């Protein structure tokens, strides 16, 4: 990210970092959805279903939770990318929060 800012300037570097980070996170989202979701639901179905219900009931606050999870360095980004499709987080909420949060 710092190299992009140094090479392309502040605004172009910021736009490129946000865009490319969002594309990479989306690729991880789709890979997890395609290959990992069925396996995790098979082994941890009950635990995941309770988390899925709490996410469905969160409504509009889900977007802001995902944005803050991206901003704060305590939550690993790779885990958010992999866990989002398993927990049935809608792709467009994931996409927008990743772009804004980065």
Which 8-state DSSP code applies to residue 3? H
81: which residues sit within 8 A by CB, 6+ positions away?
A: 25, 28, 29, 32
Number of Cβ atoms within 10 Å of the Cβ of 22: 19
Model confidence band, residue 46 (pLDDT cutoffs 50, 70, 90): confident
Per-residue pLDDT reduced to its tens digit, 66-83: 999 889 888 898 989 998
Cα 36–39–41 angle (5° rounding)? 105
pTM of the model: 0.84
Strands (E), 2-98: none
- The residue assigned the tokens 């395609």 is 34
The fraction of the chain above a pLDDT of 70, given in percent, is 100
């Amino acid at each position: 990210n710092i190299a992009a800012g140094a090479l392309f300037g502040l605004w172009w570097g910021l736009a490129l970092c946000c865009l490319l980070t969002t594309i990479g996170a989306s690729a991880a989202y789709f890979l997890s959805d395609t290959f990992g979701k069925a396996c995790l639901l098979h082994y941890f179905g009950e635990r995941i279903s309770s988390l899925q219900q709490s996410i469905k009931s969160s409504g509009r606050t889900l977007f802001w939770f995902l944005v803050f999870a991206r901003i704060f360095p305590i939550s690993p980004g790779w885990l958010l990318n992999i866990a989002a499709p398993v927990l049935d987080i809608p792709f467009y909420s994931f996409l927008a929060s990743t772009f804004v949060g980065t």
